[in-house]
Structure 1
Amino acid sequence: MPTRRRPQDAGPVAPAAAVPALDAETAAENEPPPGDMHRHLKRLADASLNKRGLPEEDLEELRQLAAAAAARGTALRFLVAEYLGSVCRIWTDLSDSQQVLAPEDLREVGSALIKAIGDATVALTQGYETAHRAAVRGEEAMRREFVDDLLDGRTDLGRLAERAERFGLRLVGPHSVAVARADSPVGAGDDTTRYVEEALTSRFSTGNVLITTKDSLLVCVSPGAVQDVPDFFATAVRHAVDEQCRIAVSRPRPGPSGIVRSYQEARSALDLATQLGLSPPLIHASDLLVFQVLGRDRAAITDLVATALGGLEDARGGPKALLETLTAYFATGCLNTATARRLGLSVRTITYRLTRIRQLTGHDPADPDQRYILQTAVLGARLLDWPSRPLQPAD
């Protein structure tokens, strides 16, 4: 669940809900169609004098009138203000009419008029909100289609660039893609997504960032020139969720086709980091290139692990302890003292283990020429999840 205050808006604002400036010229342009309104006001007066409510067909006409006003970009407050102003004129006309009403009749007429006004106002609001929600859903559907085309590369690139401008994204120049995966799936309308989007767009311009979701992942597309976006994105994601998450960042690539490749690279890096159990919450794809190279020839890396490290299976208790020692040894720059400190062991124990590794594998970790073979094999073992999983020899 999100841990910070969330924005109140439920989603993007559709063009149909744009609020015009409050001036006489704009108000005149936004007036409802006089014919429809005039016809309704006459019916309203008749219903009031007859002390009855408005029929359902009249209310439906008002809903359609409000929907048409929303499609033209008329603000709801202008629509309601115009309606109530017209009702006031009708009430004045009724009051000034030559028909003399008894006090009890006047009260009943006034009560009927107020009820009819309330029903009509509700109908106007319903019609307007229904049209507004339809416009928002249409906008969201267009955005979803654009995002899918952008990240999957399923459409003409020139047309894709034109559509990107509609959503404030400029596809000129190289872009990088960051993807985030949390324990719980992330959706387009989630509080987490809205929080991260608001945080990024308030820090960077909308033309420099696109926050979206795909396959339960949170995705951030940003220009390569704005290098601090991925780090800020990772921080916002960690603040938005109180559960474990991992973020991967691709290398920048030019053009719309580059975004597709960057997205695929970020996803692959995320999957690889999860497979390897890497601890950093922010993973750069460039740091995993060696694993990707090794993984391209699984048969070769399996053969290397079996040849270079297979002898560790003869160690007392199995190869796990010695393999962990090699991993820490290479990670600390081949320093016995630092390796002992990292593993919580004595230097003497580390020296003994390195000697056993040399005896069992035939390769000396301290020898620069032989060290590379062992280090590559250790990386391959992590990629193959050995020794937790037995090695599968190539056919």
Structure 2
Amino acid sequence: MPAHPAADHRQPGAPPPADAPPADALAAVARAAAADAGGLDPDLLGDFLDAVWAAVLDRRRLPAQRIDRYRLVGERAAGAGVALRALLDLYLSAAWRLWRLLPPVAAATAPAAPTRPGGPDGPGGSGAAVRAVDAAALVDAGEVLLRASDDAVAALTEGYQVARRQLVRREESARREFVDDLLTGTSDVPGLVRRAQRYGLDLAAPHTVTVVRAAEAYTEASALIATLERRLQGAAADADALVATKDGAVVVVSAAPDREAVREVLDTVRAVLGPPARTGWRAGVGRPGTGAGAVVQSYEQARRALELARRLDWRDPVADTADLVVHEVLLRDRTAARDLVRTLLEPLRGVRGGPEPYLRTVEAYLEAGGNATGAARRLHLSVRAVTYRLARLRDLTGADPAEASGRFALQAAVLAARALGWPDDAEE
């Protein structure tokens, strides 16, 4: 078996062996292949060309140790941001360009010397050019080159994909840590602001938080999350939005220079998540604010709005904190709110059917502007049934719905009852 060129121990200055790879020619192959691959660094080829040359001469596969090196090359290329397609193109382009330089191929394609008259053609020979071609050597060279290319490409791809998965896991972990710090607050506010820029958020501008929940918990792996973020980030040239999941809910942190920007975010949520009636999603929207602390406050407001909307049986799937300000005021002093409910509505606990029909009657009556006929249509009852309930309310609570002061007292009491979850979940 021929000796490997790398094992040739020559004295300094001695001429290279006849089968040594031509350094200048291989360097030219590497440069041309790098150009084919979009201008990659030829050094990414490492010793690939020399290794293939030696393998062809020895008529063997690339050694396992060399193949392992290409896995490392794939890992380094992934970390440097080199595209896998370009990396493979570099190696495959180098392989086919090397083919003509390989000794068996070069010998088969070199110009043949003409025969002498009287030579192999016999006396009076024609002198035609003849060449002795080693067909077996050509076949072996082709097989070794293809096998080496296949092994190198497989190792490069494996190393690249392993590195990419590690990078993705690290990025996911960093993103999750950032989202947690952003929504719960951190003492390192300057650091948080710098990290926010990495995810396209400028916390020096106003932002708001939207929290979306559905019957089934959302996960980070859901295709809806990626679609929603892509739609939001592509909504406008200056749009910045971060979409993540937390505690089974979708959390959207988005720029909020005005109410129109918030409306566009909600329109996109509706378009991506589909009709609320199908998936049961509901959204809470916090107030816009500037700075990292404002994001934390907006997030908490959005969560409270969702919970309050659930208690109030809010008709709109979107509960905006701005629309629930009256309820927030009522709940700011929960003790006073509970006292109001107990004082005015506690007598309804003893009526037949419980308090709920009377609470709904008050709500319908007020929505209809104090009109019993309109309330009857909303409740699908007769006008007589509505007027009876209103009269019973007056007798039991002492507040007359027909009078302004009575209507105000009943409305405040019912709003507080809904917000507190009375009579089932009221705090005692």
The equivalent position to 1:64 in structure 2, one of 72, 79, 85, is 72
Q: Measure, in 2, the Cα distance between the counterparts of 1:314 and 1:185.
A: 39
Which residue number in structure 2 is paired with residue 31 of structure 1?
41
Task: Please tell me whether residue 272 in structure 1 is matched to residue 301 in structure 2.
Answer: no
**SS at the partner of 1:175?**
strand
2:52 matches 1:44: yes
Q: State the identity as a percent.
A: 40
* C-alpha RMSD of the superposition: 2.7
Matches within 5 A, 1:196-275: 196-205=228-237, 207-241=239-273, 242-275=278-311
Which stretch has the larger CA shift, 361-370 or 124-133? 124-133
Contact 1:196/1:233 (8 A) holds in 2 = no
TM-score normalized with structure 1 length: 0.84
Residues in 2 aligned to 1:277 and 1:305: alpha-carbon distance in whole angstroms: 18
Local SS of the residue matching 1:114:
helix
Give the superposition deviation at 1:170: 1.0
Separation in 1 of the partners of 2:83 and 2:308? Answer: 51
CA offsets 1:50-99 (integer angstroms, 9 cap, x no match): 33322322111011112223333333333223322322343222211599
Equivalent-residue separation in structure 1 for 2:295 and 2:220 (angstroms):
20
Question: Is the aligned partner of 1:184 residue 2:216?
Answer: yes
Cα distance in 2 for partners of 1:89, 1:47 equals 16
Give the TM-score taking structure 2 as reference length. Answer: 0.78
Partners of 1:186 and 1:128 in 2: CA distance: 31
252-261 or 298-307, which moves further after superposition? 298-307
Structure-2 change in CA distance of 1:368 and 1:315 (3 Å): same
Cα distance in structure 1, aligned partners of 2:221 and 2:425: 43
1:300 is aligned, of 336, 343, 359, to 336
CA contact (8 A) 1:313 1:319 kept: yes
User: Bigger relative contact order, structure 1 or 2, given CA contacts below 8 A and separation 6+?
Assistant: 1
Moved more, 223-232 or 162-171: 223-232
Letter in 2 for 1:147: V
| CA contact 2:185–2:293 (8 Å) conserved in 1 | yes
Relative to structure 1, is the Cα distance of residues 310 and 78 closer, same or farther in structure 2, using a 3 angstrom cutoff?
Answer: closer
**Would you say the 8 A contact 1:186–1:213 is kept in 2?**
yes
User: 1:200, CA displacement in angstroms?
Assistant: 1.1
What stretches of structure 1 of length at least 5 have no aligned partner?
1-22
Cα gap change, 1:366/1:183 in structure 2, threshold over 3 Å: closer, same or farther?
Answer: same
Secondary structure of the structure 1 residue equivalent to 2:234:
helix
Task: Give the Å deviation of 1:174.
Answer: 2.1
1:123-154 CA distance string (max 9 Å, x none): 12222232233333333322222222111111
- Alpha-carbon distance change, 91 to 316 in structure 1, aligned in 2, over 3 angstroms: closer
**1:257, CA displacement in angstroms?**
0.9
Corresponding residue of 2:356: 320
Partner amino acid for 2:353? Answer: G
Q: Residue type matched to 1:365 in 2? A: P
The alpha carbon displacement at 1:101 in A equals: 6.5
Greater Cα radius of gyration, structure 1 or 2: 2
What are the residue-to-residue correspondences of 1:294-373 with 2, within 5 Å? Answer: 294-373=330-409
Q: Write out per-residue CA displacement over residues 96-125 of structure 1, whole angstroms, 9 at most, x where no aligned residue.
A: 159987323422331232122111112122
